[in-house]
Amino acid sequence: MRLKLKNAKGEEIKLNAREQLIANFNMRHANALGFEIDITTLTTVVKEITEQKFYEVAIADYIPVKVGNGAFATNLITYRSYQLSNNFADGIIDTGGNNGRLATANAGVDSVSVRIKNWAKGVGWSLFELEQAARSGSWDLVSALEESRKTNWDLGIQRVAFLGLDGDPTCLGLFTQSGITTNTTFMSGPISGMAPPDLKYFCQNILNLYRSNCARTAWPTHFVIPESDFLGLASASSPDFPIKSTLQLLEETFQTMCNNKNFKILPSAYADTAQSGQTYQEYVLYNSNPRSLRMDIPVDYTSTIANSIDGFSYQNAAYGQFTGVQAYRPLEMYYLRYTP
């Protein structure tokens, strides 16, 4: 039986085609993010729910992450030691000579203080919302709220790991470190678009740039590049000899020269201008070692038990602590950038 709407005179209200279109649009908009959905007697509600998806990566594949260190502290202090000895030859002594005053070796120390960020968010629901969601038969309101908050934490930590906190110079990411050598002339375009002579030049010189920068004290372990460039590396490195892809050529170059079969070339959407908001494409070559580079999560995501004061409204909170990424040996990172 169709419900009839009447005006003050008792006359049935009839909508024209345009009014009906607007009414249908408003109804869809009102129910867009709720569990009250219009159905008919011929409608079947499917139990499976299609959930929203996001860009997600495993941070630990890129950056050393230490969890539980310094829980509920305000800062993390890491000491760095330095050798301050003079020239090696100063230690040479002559047998039978006057060696009453020996040359000495010395050491110095400084510290790096990293600010810890506190994070907390709550969720709440009423008895009406809980019961109405239960009547829908396919949606768990409490689980959906918890998943939404956990996803907010995961995606936030992920963005901080690569780009840091917007406008906060005390919380930097892999691509936004200060004091890192930045080369803006070595590359003029994506690796996947390089002609064979340019690709050969790149392979010949990239590691020497890195080794010169760190006084040849370290070898890189990771090379992170824009995802848009990475996805083009499957093409042949040379059209005349299509034996290997550009990715295979790069991997063999880094693995062989660095004597590291586990060397990783990884893509990141955060290195692309579309995600980073920067005007340049970002490439970073670095040594992924917790003594050189690290992100700390003193308190991992933790949720409290839901409670209610009046038995009608319920709420709980989740909290955590995190830091930005800190380069403890900045010379072991090397940025390459070009403006598309």
pLDDT digits (tens, 9 = 90+) for 60-107: 999 999 999 999 999 999 988 877 777 887 777 777 666 667 777 778
Rounded CA separation 136/143 (Å): 14
Q: How far is CA 130 from CA 151, 264, 333, in A?
A: 21, 47, 51
Q: Is residue 245 part of a domain?
A: yes
pLDDT tens digits along 159-200:
999 999 999 999 999 999 999 999 999 999 999 999 999 999
Q: Is residue 80 part of a domain?
A: no
pLDDT at position 1 over 80: no
Q: Is residue 230 part of a domain?
A: yes
For residue 33, the model assigns a pLDDT of 57
Domain range for residue 282? Answer: 154-299+320-338
Q: Are 64 and 94 in contact (CB under 8 A)?
A: no
Confirm whether pTM is higher than 0.85.
no
For residue 29, the model assigns a pLDDT of 47
**CA-based end-to-end distance of the chain:** 63
E strands present in the chain: 65-67, 75-83, 107-115, 117-126, 181-183, 222-226, 264-268, 281-286, 293-297, 299-303, 307-308, 313-322, 325-327, 333-338
Strand-pair category, 107-115 with 75-83: antiparallel
Q: Is residue 259 part of a domain?
A: yes
Rounded CA separation 11/177 (Å): 71
Rounded CA separation 25/19 (Å): 10
- Cα angle at 148 between 131 and 76, to 5 degrees? 135
Q: How many residues does the chain have?
A: 340
Give mean pLDDT, residues 311-323. Answer: 95
Kindly indicate the confidence band of residue 140, based on its pLDDT and cuts at 50, 70 and 90: confident
Q: Is residue 311 part of a domain?
A: no
Q: Is residue 308 part of a domain?
A: no
For residue 49, the model assigns a pLDDT of 72
Name, of 1-5, 53-57, 182-186, 235-239, the range with top average pLDDT: 182-186
Q: Is residue 233 part of a domain?
A: yes
Q: Are 289 and 88 in contact (CB under 8 A)?
A: no
Rounded CA separation 208/253 (Å): 12
pLDDT at position 211 over 80: yes
Domain total for the chain? 1
For residue 30, the model assigns a pLDDT of 44
Q: Is residue 241 part of a domain?
A: yes
Compute the mean pLDDT over every residue in the chain, rounded to the nearest whole number: 87
Give mean pLDDT, residues 233-247. Answer: 82
CATH of the domain at 263: 3.30.2320.10
Cα dihedral 277→281→284→285 (10° resolution): 170
The CB-based long-range contact list for 146-150 (8 Å cut-off, 24+ gap) reads: 146/303, 146/318, 148/123, 149/121, 149/123, 149/303, 149/318, 150/301, 150/318
Q: Are 91 and 101 in contact (CB under 8 A)?
A: no
